[in-house]
Structures are given as structure tokens and as C-alpha cells.
Amino acid sequence: MTAGLAETPQSAVTPFVAVSTVTKAAGRLVPRRGRQTEGMGSTVAAATAAVKEPTPVLRGATGNSSGNSPGNVVIPVPPQTVIWTDLSNTPRWLVGHCSTVWTSSAGKYKLPYRVEFGTTGFYRWWAPFADGVGEECGSGAYLSSLRTTLHHDGSWETSYFAANRFTPDATNSTNCCCEYIGQAAGVGQPRVLADYCTATVPHSSHLPFEEVCAPHMRQCPLNNITALAEMGTPFIEIYSPCAPLSEGPSTSNGPETKLQHCLVLLVTVFAVVLLARIVWKVVHIGPPQKSGLNEALL
């Protein structure tokens, strides 16, 4: 794994949708206006409890409300956006023990390996090397507000600017990255992380994350699809469903755990195929218009 916001028009990849947003400030959620981002994954109970979604409206051919008569169309429920500003306190939907079942660094690590999203704004991972010699241990921290889009089907995506570093590392570097993490709708869906690093600063592992990455912080694209077009191919991790920190990391090798890993791997294959289709479209159709250049960081 390697502050305030200003809203801007959405890119050409995702149609413009105005949405209600909620900002967490001084221990409370404050309504404000925002825009849609692209979602990847399952229900975020903590945030949806604070956000009331509008009810779908049925309209007939004349445009008036018309019950269930033939020809009615359902106006989609717009997504909700939550801006989390307390960087010392990780939002509940990100916290948990996760098990990495696939990574784009094929053959480097022994799978599955453990990732922990803590409660105080940091995350860590422990990845044994595939050759059986040693283990990569890393940590990261959120450096910007966390922008989460909640879709009416329960899927969500959170984006932010972050810093991370790991050992062993011959250059003792710190990575400064735009990260996108999300989960598809439905129980038992995997969680997916995409990591687009904008800078790697050597000989900086003894310095605070904020100090190292301050010169490299940038306006991250609004969603993962736009980031793919603008920033190139990311480092990717796919996790099996994450467990609460109170339950401790999973160490079971029983039949149920193995079956769960098989199911997650099947979904992983689907996700990789979907990513390949997105890349193909970007290559053959061209990147979306860069309409978010005036947006504040994340």
C-alpha cells in the first residue's frame, strides 16, 4: 500500500448530479452542497444515519405525479457526499482488520496479508514476501479531508490525499499519494483500494508525513475513473470483507474462511476485468475533460 473543499463541475465520465452533502466539523455533521463522485462498494451505516436520502418520484408521460400507471419512470435517488475533516479520528466505515486477497504487485507478496485501518487517522500493513524471506511493514496517514460518496444502493467510495512509508526500503522514502477506497453494494463484497502516488521522497522516513508531503499535495481527481485517466495505472489492493477491530485479525484456515476467499477471488476477477474495460475506453475514447483543476485539495 503504498482543507476545506470547493466544489467544481463533474467530469465527462460521470454525468453531473447535484447532491446534498454533510461536513463533519467540531464534532457534528453540517449540511452543505456538493457533487457526485464514483462509487465502488457496501453500506456505510455511520454516515447514512446522518444523511436522509430523498424519496424516488414516479412521473407519467405528462410529467405529473401519477401512481403506478404504465409508462412511469423512476427518477434516481442522487448520491450523498460526506466530507470528514477530523484527520485524527478515522470514520467508522473505514476502520477494521482487512485481508488482502489480490494486489497489482503480482508475485511480490504472500497472500493473503494483513492490513489494519485504525481509529486515529493511521493505517498499517504487514506483507510477507513471496520468496519467504522477510516481511514488508508499512504505515500511512490521511493528510486531507476524506470525501465519501454514498449511493442509494449501499455502495460507497472514499478519496483523500495520504502519505505512507514502509520497511525494508533501501532509500528510506515517503510516498505522497491520492487514494481511493470503496466497496460494492451487498453483504460480503470485497473492499478495493487504488493508490496513485504523485511523489516519492527519498531519505525522509525520519520526518513527519505532513512535512515531507506538504510540497507535493495536489488536487486529487473527484473519482477513481477520472484519476485513472489523469494519473495512470494505480497500485491496487483488494480485501476480503473487513472485520471490526474489536474482533481482532482473522487467523482461521477453516473451510468457511477458504470458501469466503474463493468467493472474493471470483469477485476480484470481475473487478480486474472491469478495470481493464475502463482502461480500454480511456485509451480508445480519450480521457474525460479536466474540469476539476480549480477544485481545492480533494
DSSP-assigned states of every residue in 6-22: ------SSS---EEEEE
Q: What is the pTM assigned to this prediction? A: 0.66
pLDDT, one tens digit per residue, over 197-241 is: 999 999 999 999 999 999 999 989 999 999 999 999 999 999 998
Percent of the chain residues topping a pLDDT of 90: 51
User: Which SS3 state, helix, strand or coil, does residue 223 take?
Assistant: coil
Spatial separation of the C-alpha atoms in residues 284 and 279, rounded to whole Å: 9
Domain boundaries, the chain: 96-285
Q: Is the pLDDT of residue 243 over 50?
A: yes
Spatial separation of the C-alpha atoms in residues 141 and 212, rounded to whole Å: 12
pLDDT, one tens digit per residue, over 48-83 is: 444 443 333 333 344 444 444 445 566 667 889 999
- What's the full length of the chain, in residues? 298
* Cell numbers at 60, concatenated: 407519467
Burial of residue 33, with CB atoms counted within 10 A of its CB: 0-12 exposed, 13-18 middle, 19 or more buried: exposed
